[in-house]
Amino acid sequence: MAVLVVPQANAVALSVQLKDTIKQGSGSIDLFRAKQQKNNLSAADLEEMRSDHGGSLVFAVDVNEAANGSEKASCQGVAIESAVLTIVVGGNSFSFSDYSTPTESMLAKFGSTERKLYHTLIGQTGSSLITPSSSSALSGSSYDALITMPVNIALDNATSATLDITLLETNTSLGDPEAFYDFTAGFEDLALVSAEDSSFLAGLAPGQSEAPLVITQGQVLNPIDSWVYFPSSVEYYIAAYEDNYPAKSDYDFNDLVVGYRVGLGMTAEKVSSLLIYGYIIARGSGFTHDWYLHIGLPDEASGTGMVNLFQAGSSVQESGYPKSISQSGSFDQRLLQGTKSLMQVPGLEFANTEAEVSLIQGQKFSVSFDFDTPLNLADIALPPYDPYLHVTNTGYEIHLPEYASRLGSSVNNAEGVGGFKNEQGYPFVVIIPEDWEPPLEHVDLGEAYSTFLGYVSSSSAQNESWYTVPSATKIKGIGKAFWKWD
């Protein structure tokens, strides 16, 4: 957890811990009462802080939550339902309810399954990242997230200043992200912070990279009313590939396994933004690949965005990331490049496909994309979209059977090869709409999942849930709890 660095006593505006806290989801915070009485703020102090932030008061919050859902010491959070700052000046009362935080998420309130956008507070516990001067008013205290509240009146004559804040009681029965952003019986400390300290803390962003469904300001720029996720806000599509196309080879479908989720940001019933989250789950191939996601859009669609690629189990991005992207027409972007160099076990050929070899985590990727002009939802291709592979060693693309090749430089185009099924009707990529375990190395998919053969021979009319009935000794048990590492 971050500890704020506080300017020394000769600074104009000092960060100050406040006495009142948020307890069991709510708090009434008196801005004139500091945790230590000697640090009580005056009206002139409040005005200096407001001026220091260009007309806003900025609060730092020490997020202090139990480990529910995917919360852990390095990443925990709560959501804000409301925050109202009431200022009394000259006997007149002024209320300010506009506020912002560095992060937001789509969440359902207790008693509802409808998700709406809420501001969130994210942080972490554990050892301090920075130790301040022992003379600081905040020495030994830890803070994570920021709340910024614009105040358009001068405060140097204020006689009362109170922040009433209510945290969101989430519908935890839905699992994450609601279970992550619930509040418990713990309490959150608050501090009024200087511009220097708020800038420092905003740069640290403790816990943000690991939180589920975080929509970071500056990544998605268009205003969003709601989000629609595919397959859902808590599940992923699993794409598994046999990469020796057009030869059937060992047909073990673990040559590359990727989990991905797509979110559509809705504004006035139109799609104005796009989010993509995903992980590399397994790589059981001597080949290397590039992995693309193609989402069909109208020809007139256009926009810009950002691609992030995080090192396994880390908030640190791979070299060369993040990358800015722009697109016209359909969305078609390479999100993973050189999979063999990305996911590897030193000294071994494969990762997460052999029975006696320990599991490793793969890289996490994400995309934020804003459309120049919002699109009709009906004009966007249906999920699971077209997640396709370009096998660098052979030059072939591998798509779902209903899609055509897309890369002008691929062998498919040069040879006029398509269809992406062999003569017996066997595909080279399967998409599973939930958690799934790939076959062990060199184990045929039909051997690991015996009803798969009936699924193929019936042209997908029978045994549609073939992926739920594995042979336990012929699969690599990875599990979403492991590969989805934050």
What pLDDT digit, counting tens, does each position of 137-161 carry? 555 668 888 999 999 999 999 999 9
Instruction: Please report the pLDDT score of residue 221 as a whole number.
Output: 83
Last residue of a domain, one of 179, 207, 235: 207
Residue 215 lies in a domain: no
Using omega within 30 degrees of 0 as the cis cutoff, is the peptide bond preceding 346 cis? Answer: no
Range of 471's domain? 226-483
Instruction: Please report the pLDDT score of residue 1 as a whole number.
Output: 41
Chain-centre distance of CA 278, in angstroms? Answer: 9
Instruction: Please report the pLDDT score of residue 174 as a whole number.
Output: 76
Same domain, 290 and 425: yes
Instruction: Please report the pLDDT score of residue 198 as a whole number.
Output: 83
Residue 11 lies in a domain: no
Instruction: Please report the pLDDT score of residue 130 as a whole number.
Output: 40
Q: In this model, does residue 264 exceed pLDDT 50? A: yes
Q: In this model, does residue 131 exceed pLDDT 50? A: no
Mean pLDDT of 55-59: 95
Q: Lowest-pLDDT range, 4-18, 152-166, 276-290?
A: 4-18
What pLDDT digit, counting tens, does each position of 334-361 carry? 999 999 999 999 999 999 999 999 999 9
Q: Which residues contact 464 (CB under 8 A, 6 or more apart)?
A: 455
Calpha distance 33→333 (Å, rounded) = 53
Mean pLDDT of 14-35: 93
Instruction: Please report the pLDDT score of residue 282 as a whole number.
Output: 98
SS (H, E, C) the chain: CCCCCCCCCCCCCCCEEECCCEECCEEEEECCCECCHHHCCCHHHHHHHHHHCCCEEEEEEECCCCCCCCCECCEEEEEEEEEEEEEEECCEEEEECCCECCEEEEEEECCCCCEEEEEEEEECCCCCCCCCCCCCCCCCCCCCEEEEEECCCCCCCEEEEEEEEEECCECHHHCCCCCCCCCCCCEEEEEECCHHHHHHHHHHCCCHHHCCCCEEECCECCCCCEEEEECCCCCCEEEEECCCCCCCCCCCCCCEEEEEEEEEEEECCEEEEEEEEEEEEEECCCCCEEEEEEECCCCCCEEEEEEEEECCCCCCECCCCCEEEEEECCEEEEEEECHHHHCCCCCCCCECCCCCCCCCCCCEEEEEEEEEEEECHHHCCCCCCEEEEEECCCCCEECCCCCCCCCCCCHHHHHCCCCCECCCCCECEEEECCCCCCECCCCCHHHHCCCHHHHHHCCCCCCCCHHHCCCHHHECCCCHHHHCCC
Q: Which residues contact 319 (CB under 8 A, 6 or more apart)?
A: none
Residue 5 lies in a domain: no
Mean pLDDT score across all residues of the chain: 88
Q: Are 315 and 210 in contact (CB under 8 A)?
A: yes
Tokens linked to 221: 């720029």
Mean pLDDT of 443-466: 94
Which single residue is written with the structure tokens 């000294």? 347
**What residues are paired with 279 via a beta bridge?**
259, 364
Q: Which amino acid is at 360?
A: I
Same domain, 169 and 232: no
Instruction: Please report the pLDDT score of residue 209 as a whole number.
Output: 67
Same domain, 174 and 254: no
Mean pLDDT of 290-312: 95
Instruction: Please report the pLDDT score of residue 13 as a whole number.
Output: 66
Same domain, 319 and 199: no
Q: Lowest-pLDDT range, 195-204, 273-282, 364-373, 453-462?
A: 195-204
Q: In this model, does residue 12 exceed pLDDT 90? A: no
Instruction: Please report the pLDDT score of residue 11 as a whole number.
Output: 43
Same domain, 89 and 235: no
Mean pLDDT of 192-215: 76
Residue 220 lies in a domain: no
Residue 50 lies in a domain: yes
Same domain, 239 and 109: no
Residue 357 lies in a domain: yes
Last residue of a domain, one of 207, 238, 254: 207
Same domain, 450 and 318: yes
Mean pLDDT of 54-60: 94
Calpha distance 221→332 (Å, rounded) = 20
Same domain, 166 and 258: no
Mean pLDDT of 271-295: 96
More confident of the two residues 12 and 111:
111
Same domain, 374 and 269: yes
Mean pLDDT of 296-307: 96
Mean pLDDT of 307-318: 88
Same domain, 347 and 474: yes
Same domain, 198 and 241: no
Mean pLDDT of 365-370: 94
Last residue of a domain, one of 175, 207, 239: 207
Calpha distance 368→218 (Å, rounded) = 10
Domain count within the chain? 2
Residue 213 lies in a domain: no
Q: Lowest-pLDDT range, 311-325, 388-402, 409-423?
A: 409-423
What's the pLDDT band for 4 if we cut at 50, 70, 90? very low
R_g of the chain, CA atoms, integer Å: 26
Q: In this model, does residue 210 exceed pLDDT 80? A: no
Calpha distance 162→156 (Å, rounded) = 15
Calpha distance 310→379 (Å, rounded) = 32
Q: In this model, does residue 283 exceed pLDDT 80? A: yes
Mean pLDDT of 322-340: 95
User: 187-192 and 215-216: which strand pairing?
Assistant: unpaired
Same domain, 195 and 342: no
Calpha distance 78→259 (Å, rounded) = 26
Residue 214 lies in a domain: no
Q: In this model, does residue 31 exceed pLDDT 50? A: yes
Q: In this model, does residue 5 exceed pLDDT 50? A: no
